[in-house]
Amino acid sequence: MIRTAFTQPINPVTIRTLMSSETAKILDGKALSDRMRQYMQKEIEAMHSRHGRAPGLAVILVGDDPASRVYVKNKKLACEKVGIISFSHELPADTTQQHILGLIGELNRDPRVDGILVQLPVPDHIDSETIIIAIDPGKDVDGFHPYNIGSLTVRIPALRPCTPFGCMKLLEEAGIDLHGQEAVIVGASNMVGRPMALELLLAGATVTVTHRFTRDLKSHIERADIVVAAAGKQGLIQGEWIRKGAIVIDVGIHRLENGKLTGDVDFRAASKRASWITPVPGGVGPMTITMLLHNTIAAFHSHVGEQTVGDEG
Ligand code: GUN
């Protein structure tokens, strides 16, 4: 039996197309993000007239890690463009944990604030788990609180972690049915790998999570219908490992010496074998921020006692 990316028997016309196609189709996160954000902008205008206020997102940045500064700036900019009010709290690196917990308590009580985001990583003297647990789960727009992770685990998703949620939107947009697919995730972080496994399981895939102790990464990748690369290691996944027709999602983002961005996957070689692939940049990155906006809007709906209407797709 010839297998497609979907492990179904396929007809000869499809087979010829697959064999002759040298280049994967692009899962275009930039284009989908633009469409979703346009929809959100209109939705927020309507929400403002109904409730007399726009959704609000509080962003806490501790210290001056340059990458975190850029991420936070991009998040605030994205908020402003769609009409979400951002409340910025930039704190020095030596801020005490007690101070941050006090601030989170205030933001939990502030009716103008629908979402709270503490940019990670935080300095070493601060315990990120204690910080995350202090956030009201209904305002946890990162979806990292154990309540929200637990909700996803037991198949009643509430606020969902943004990067995995964005990957699922990309797959959904491309019309990819995940039932019975062999999905292999590379990386088992709390922010991406683990919640990605929960999302794929919820969508009916058979899921393997590989990590730093996995013995033979190549053999796992070679049998995967879907690869999600979230190891944070530039070029870890060789293009030749990708099964013909597989779907490749690259969560990695690394800056090369020439200033260009690249991912965890060797894109050029992988795109000759994959059926679908995300580019870096322009794939998962913009979707992460878009799902943060989505979660902030969802939190607003719940705070004003509205059902979330429609989707932004
Ligand atoms: N640091 C890197 N990615 C993220 C993210 O999605 N959310 C937060 N809070 N911190 C991050």
pLDDT digits (tens, 9 = 90+) for 108-118: 999 999 999 99
For residues 310 and 308, give the distance between their C-alpha atoms in angstroms, rounded to a whole number. 7
pLDDT at 22: 72
299 pLDDT above the threshold of 90: yes
pLDDT at 21: 55
Nearest atom of ligand 1 to the alpha carbon of 142: 7
Which amino acid belongs to residue 39? Answer: Y
The preferred substitution site among 70, 71, 89, 149 for testing ligand 1, maximizing ligand atoms within 8 Å of CB, is 71
**Ligand 1 binding pocket includes 178 (Cβ within 6 Å):** no
How many Å lie between the centroid of ligand 1 and the Cα of residue 6? 32
pLDDT at 215: 98
**Ligand 1 binding pocket includes 135 (Cβ within 6 Å):** no
Taking the CA atoms of 75, 143, 91 and 253 in sequence, report the sign of the dihedral they define: negative
Neighbours of 68 (CB within 10 A): 16
**Ligand 1 binding pocket includes 58 (Cβ within 6 Å):** no
**Ligand 1 binding pocket includes 28 (Cβ within 6 Å):** no
226 pLDDT above the threshold of 80: yes
Confidence of residue 309 (pLDDT cuts 50, 70, 90): low
For residues 7 and 9, give the distance between their C-alpha atoms in angstroms, rounded to a whole number. 7
- Residue closest via CA to ligand 1's atom 3 equals 120
Taking the CA atoms of 204, 308, 143 and 153 in sequence, report the sign of the dihedral they define: negative
β-bridge mates for residue 60, sequence order: 89, 118
Tell whether omega for the bond before 281 is within 30 degrees of 0, i.e. cis.
Answer: yes
How many Å lie between the centroid of ligand 1 and the Cα of residue 237? 23
β-bridge mates for residue 62, sequence order: 91
Which amino acid belongs to residue 148? Answer: N
How many Å lie between the centroid of ligand 1 and the Cα of residue 207? 24
- Taking residues 5-25, report their average pLDDT: 53
- Residue closest via CA to ligand 1's atom 1 equals 120
pLDDT at 293: 98
Report the share of the chain in percent with pLDDT over 70.
Answer: 92
The preferred substitution site among 65, 86, 118, 120 for testing ligand 1, maximizing ligand atoms within 8 Å of CB, is 120
The preferred substitution site among 119, 144, 284, 296 for testing ligand 1, maximizing ligand atoms within 8 Å of CB, is 119
Confidence of residue 20 (pLDDT cuts 50, 70, 90): very low
> Starting at the edge strand that comes first in sequence, how are the strands of the sheet with 85-91 ordered?
85-91, 56-62, 115-118
The mean predicted confidence, pLDDT, of the chain is 93
**Ligand 1 binding pocket includes 74 (Cβ within 6 Å):** no
**Ligand 1 binding pocket includes 118 (Cβ within 6 Å):** yes
**Whole-structure pTM value:** 0.92
Tokens at residue 23, please?
A: 């280049």
- Taking residues 34-44, report their average pLDDT: 98
16 pLDDT above the threshold of 90: no
How many Å lie between the centroid of ligand 1 and the Cα of residue 120? 5
**Ligand 1 binding pocket includes 120 (Cβ within 6 Å):** yes
* Residues catalogued as catalytic: 75, 119, 142
**Ligand 1 binding pocket includes 162 (Cβ within 6 Å):** yes
Nearest atom of ligand 1 to the alpha carbon of 121: 1
122 pLDDT above the threshold of 80: yes
